[in-house]
């Protein structure tokens, strides 16, 4: 349709199921950014999109308008400018439990020659948040000045920060309205919200980790697959080559969930350390497999490796050499954290006063997990927010979380609870017992989910 001057007419058109032109969408997003659209109008527009959806072309136009509503970062790399001597790469996840991939992937890719300006978010509902994890590090500044952010990306190769007021401001306001108008679950609005911020960072390539399973943001595997397809298609049509992986979240990705405990696990991965056998924690497995796969996709997309085997070999060499850990350390120090965090983490990272195991009520193997409920147990401990603005206890969480198919008994617990009080620990234990099914079966009788379920690659036109 042809763009109209009055925003209410454009809202009416979408309410009635009409397609909006790119010009009309840009007008509406401009009104969201500059405040000329009221909250009532923004809510009405969100509801019209929620009820009637958007075509792929409309979603591309919405994403580009959100991207262009604020500052656009120009870095160079594979593009026309050559400010950086390598490709600008990034990764985003739809969120999950025990998902600390960003903490490891960013410095790992930087150690291989990529530049990673990662704009991350806080925990949402039962899912953890990268910013919350990083704020467990004393002094870490998630909101540096633009100059400091750019300088650190250039010098360390990676900076993980929060969204600034200048970056995709339309998304910030639109999301706030969606959150109180029951329109969060709209696919076009989800896609434009995720990509608007990411694409404003001037990326040469993006990799998306879209979760599926009991701990995923999307309610069904079909919806997760639809989201992965939409993100890859829209991002590539907006000019950024994108790979989307559909991955399993029917159990926590790492054997831990919380903030400081996840930072500890990230450091263990980066330094190659083994964690205590008594906690059942390992530094390899599902978490390492997914992180390595996502990082390899970025190296290929950024032309830092000629083949998948070459990408994996480069990654493994830079991890073993300590180069990835060194990039993490430089990032932390460059954003105000302690320069000796890797060597003296116990001095800096908070620890809960109560640590106790949670044993299953019967011996057997874990056959099912309600991963969302596991995440909510961490929230109940104080490791997440019940309402926006709630303070977070960075010390609390879970460690040594047993995996699907693993045998548990009087010696091997379901997990260790890290709590502020005995009452909190007891409550979390009850939640874990309700969330995890244990049965007397053999390993062959347990269906173990495939970690990486589907890969979608899209080149920019």
Query: Pairing state of beta strands 257-258 and 415-419?
Result: unpaired
Do 206 and 228 meet the contact criterion of CB atoms below 8 Å apart?
Answer: no
Number of residues that this document lists for the chain: 461
Let me know: does 438 contact 404? Beta carbons within 8 Å.
no
Is there a contact between 216 and 94 (Cβ–Cβ < 8 Å)?
A: yes
The CA-atom distances, in angstroms, between 95 and each of 139, 370, 374 are 25, 15, 14
Could you list the active site residues? Answer: 90-93, 130, 178, 193, 197-198
Bridge partners (DSSP) of residue 439 are: 365
Here the tokens at position 124 are 């949402």
Q: Residue 205: helix, strand or coil by DSSP? A: strand
Q: Read out DSSP for 100-169?
A: -HHHHHHHHHHHTT-BEEEEE----TTS--HHHHHTTSTT--SS--HHHHHHHHHHHSEEEEEPPTTSSH
Looking only at the bridges linking them, the beta strands covering 205-212 and 89-93 are parallel
| Residue 449, token pair as written in the block | 């989910």
296 close to 315: Cβ distance less than 8 angstroms = yes
């Amino acid at each position: 349709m042809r763009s109209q001057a009055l925003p209410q007419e454009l809202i009416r058109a979408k309410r009635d199921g009409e397609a909006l032109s790119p010009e009309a969408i840009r007008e509406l997003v401009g009104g969201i950014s500059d405040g000329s659209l009221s909250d009532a109008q923004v809510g009405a527009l969100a509801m019209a999109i929620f009820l009637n959806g958007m075509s792929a072309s409309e979603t591309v136009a919405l994403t580009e308008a959100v991207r262009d509503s604020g500052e656009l970062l120009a870095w160079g790399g594979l593009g026309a400018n050559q400010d950086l001597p390598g490709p600008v790469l990034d990764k985003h996840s739809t969120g999950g439990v025990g998902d600390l991939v960003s903490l490891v992937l960013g410095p790992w890719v930087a150690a291989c020659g990529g530049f990673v300006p990662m704009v991350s978010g806080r925990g949402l509902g039962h899912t953890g948040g990268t910013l919350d994890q990083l704020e467990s590090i004393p002094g870490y500044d998630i909101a540096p000045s633009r100059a400091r952010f750019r300088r650190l990306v250039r010098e360390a190769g990676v900076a993980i920060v929060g969204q600034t007021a200048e970056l995709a401001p339309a998304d910030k306001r639109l999301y706030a309205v969606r959150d109180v108008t029951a329109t969060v679950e709209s696919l076009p609005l989800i896609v434009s919200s995720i990509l608007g911020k990411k694409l404003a960072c001037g990326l040469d390539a993006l990799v998306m980790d879209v979760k599926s399973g009991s701990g995923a943001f999307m309610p069904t595997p079909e919806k997760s697959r639809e989201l992965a397809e939409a993100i890859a298609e829209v991002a590539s049509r907006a000019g950024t080559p994108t790979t989307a992986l559909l991955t399993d979240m029917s159990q926590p990705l790492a054997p831990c969930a919380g903030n400081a405990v996840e930072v500890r696990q990230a450091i263990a991965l980066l330094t190659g350390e083994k964690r205590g056998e008594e906690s059942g924690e390992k530094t390899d497995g599902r978490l390492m497999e997914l992180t390595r796969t996502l990082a390899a996709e970025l190296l290929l997309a950024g032309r830092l490796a000629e083949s998948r085997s070459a990408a994996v070999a480069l990654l493994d060499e830079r991890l073993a050499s300590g180069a990835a850990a060194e990039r993490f350390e430089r990032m932390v120090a460059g954003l105000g954290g302690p320069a000796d965090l890797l060597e003296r983490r116990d001095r800096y990272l908070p620890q809960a006063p109560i640590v106790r195991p949670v044993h299953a009520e019967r011996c057997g193997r874990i056959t099912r997990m309600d991963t969302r409920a596991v995440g909510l147990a961490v929230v109940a401990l104080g490791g997440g927010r019940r309402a926006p603005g709630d303070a977070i206890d960075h010390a609390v969480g879970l460690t040594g979380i047993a995996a699907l198919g693993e045998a548990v008994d009087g010696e091997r617990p379901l997990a260790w609870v890290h709590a502020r009080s005995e009452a909190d620990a007891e409550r979390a234990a009850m939640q874990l017992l309700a969330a995890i099914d244990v049965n007397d079966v053999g390993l062959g009788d347990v269906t173990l989910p495939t970690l990486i379920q589907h890969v979608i690659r899209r080149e920019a036109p």
